A and B are shown apart, each in its own frame.
Chain A
Amino acid sequence: MTMTAPTPKRRGGWPIAFLGIARRETLRFVNQRGRFLAALVRPLVWLFIFAAGFRAVLGMSITPPYQTYVLYEVYVTPGLCAMIQLFNGMQSSLSMVYDRETGAMRTLLVSPFPRWFLLASKLVAGVLVSIIQVYTFLAIAWFWDIRPPIWGYVAVLPALILSGLMLGAMGLFLSSAIRQLENFAGVMNFVIFPMFFASSALYPLWRMRESSVLLHDICAVNPFTHAVELIRFALYLQVNWLSLAVVLGCLAGFFGAAVFMYDPAKGNWARRKGEG
């Protein structure tokens, strides 16, 4: 047995650790085919059934970034991309709570790398998985005549990374606050659904204002609205600067809060009682 085992810092093992975490997330995703199908079926049901039904009811005026009238299916597609990322972020969060209950989370946190780095690696790995899902969805939507500019598929990548990181960081923060797996249903009801429905994912904000100014204002400050708009504008080769700023700000806030909560000295983690 050696007393001279080098520490990860000296060995330059940071990329190795990140790639290991990313590989594990990908393997878990590949092994759980049901999860991939569910992630894909959910937005496709919205696109094929919900959007088709609402096309006749909801008229779309010409609003940026669109330069002409668009079908409701076209309008709703960026929102469904963000929905995939929202649910993926929550799925990661759910798996972290599960990992914590089983002990797998502990093996991650006792790694000699700093905790913020481990959490960031897990976050980025989860976003990579969500981006694969979004591009698969966009490829299927293309056959449904939802065809943004070809360069839009490239331009949307940074937007997807940022929105995925923000939603993933939110999931990370929530996972640190949830004590038991059973509490997750509450998160779905009180966080996920309100966040999705009170946003511009399904209806433009001006439509919302016609119904209720208060609801419009709530939607306007919802970070998910800005994730949707960032994706929508990027898909049509534009930048929504306000949404970019909000997404970056929320990313920093959620991730900072998650790191605090998982801090061995300060956060919620430190208040959990052991068993033996």
Chain B
Amino acid sequence: MRAGDALSVENVSHRFGKVEALKDVTLSVPRGAFTALLGVNGAGKTTLFSLITRLYDNTSGVIRVAGHDLRREPSRALARLGVVFQSRALDADLTVMQNLSYHASLHGIPGRNAKARIADVLAQVDLSGKAGARVSSLSGGQSRRAEIARALIHEPDLLLLDEATVGLDVKSRAEVLALTRRLIAERGVSALWATHIMDEIQPDDALVILHRGQVLERGLAADIAGPNGLTRTFLDLTGVEAA
């Protein structure tokens, strides 16, 4: 765990009643890096994201965003966090501009600054021409890019993307993934990309494998994959049967 990490999660556990959803999870996201969080459905990815976004508090351990302890300095920590949730978070009845203005206000960004930032982030995600369009009229891929624009509006240090490509066709999936990697290169933002799709992970990505609430491996994807490849290694590690 380095002092300059965009995110550090140290010995975090969490229970829902008798169910232990996360067990002593430790991971970090270095600044300006793409880190993949790989796990099957039910591995604990969404629970971990819920803790990092402080939808609820972790019962043990420490979570720091850009060096700010989430429980001691929630306001500072959350101000540095941009989140793309697994489920749709934009209001379908409102336009893209209205949605982004709303989210800018949730970060206390005044009107003039908000307009400039909205124009900037929409250009970044190639949606400049869709500012006045209702979200309900967007395609799945466009909608996801609008969600990413929303998450970027307050210039966060860390982007959390929870299964951001779920429900998208192959082309849109590739676009959203490429966009995220481009944002890291161009804006210097860090990203924690939760997924269960191994094709989305490149050999030089940082990788964390989460299974049944525990971190099984963390390191460079190529190192973890070894000679057997990522799919075989993942199946061996988790004991999950291939379909």
Contact = CB atoms under 8 A, between A and B. Distances in A.
Interface residues of B, number: 62
Nearest to A30: B93
Contact of A8 (B43, B88, B107, B150): B107
A28 B91 contact: yes
Interface string B94-117: 100010011111111111000000
A108 B78 CA distance: 12
Contacts of B228: none
A269 B55 contact: yes
Contacts of B141: none
A114 B54 CA distance: 11
Contacts of A103: 85-89
Interface in A109-156: 109-114, 118
Interface in B1-50: 16-17, 19, 21, 32, 39, 41-47, 49-50
A276 B39 contact: yes
A103 B83 CA distance: 11
Contact of B78 (A27, A32, A111): A111
Contacts of A185: none
A265 B56 contact: yes
B205 interface: no
Contact of A113 (B39, B55, B56, B75): B75
Contacts of B66: 3
Given A1-B189, A16-B110, A276 B56 contact: no
Contacts of A271: 16-17
Contacts of A256: none
Contacts of B106: 17, 20-21, 107-108, 111, 113, 118
Interface in A1-39: 1-3, 5-9, 11-14, 16-17, 19-21, 23-24, 27-28, 31-32
Contacts, number: 159
A11 B108 contact: yes
B94 A7 contact: no
A106 B53 contact: yes
Nearest to A21: B105
B107 A276 contact: no
Nearest to A266: B57
A21 B98 CA distance: 11
Interface residues of A, number: 47
B41 A276 contact: yes
Contact of B104 (A20, A114, A274): A20
B83 A110 contact: yes
A210 interface: no
Contact of A2 (B85, B103, B155): B155
A265 B74 CA distance: 12
Contact of A109 (B55, B94, B154, B156): B55
Nearest to B87: A103
A32 to B, nearest CB: 7
Nearest to B195: A276
A7 B80 CA distance: 9
Given A6-B79, A16-B105, A107-B85, 14 more contacts: A1-B155, A2-B157, A13-B109, A17-B105, A20-B104, A24-B98, A102-B88, A103-B86, A104-B89, A106-B53, A106-B83, A112-B76, A275-B41, A276-B162
B19 A28 contact: no
27 contacts: A7-B79, A12-B108, A20-B104, A21-B106, A23-B102, A27-B93, A31-B93, A102-B87, A103-B85, A103-B86, A104-B88, A104-B91, A106-B53, A106-B89, A107-B89, A107-B150, A112-B74, A112-B78, A112-B79, A113-B106, A264-B57, A265-B56, A265-B57, A270-B57, A274-B50, A276-B41, A276-B46
Contacts of B108: 8, 11-14, 16-17, 112-113
Interface string A49-67: 0000000000000000000
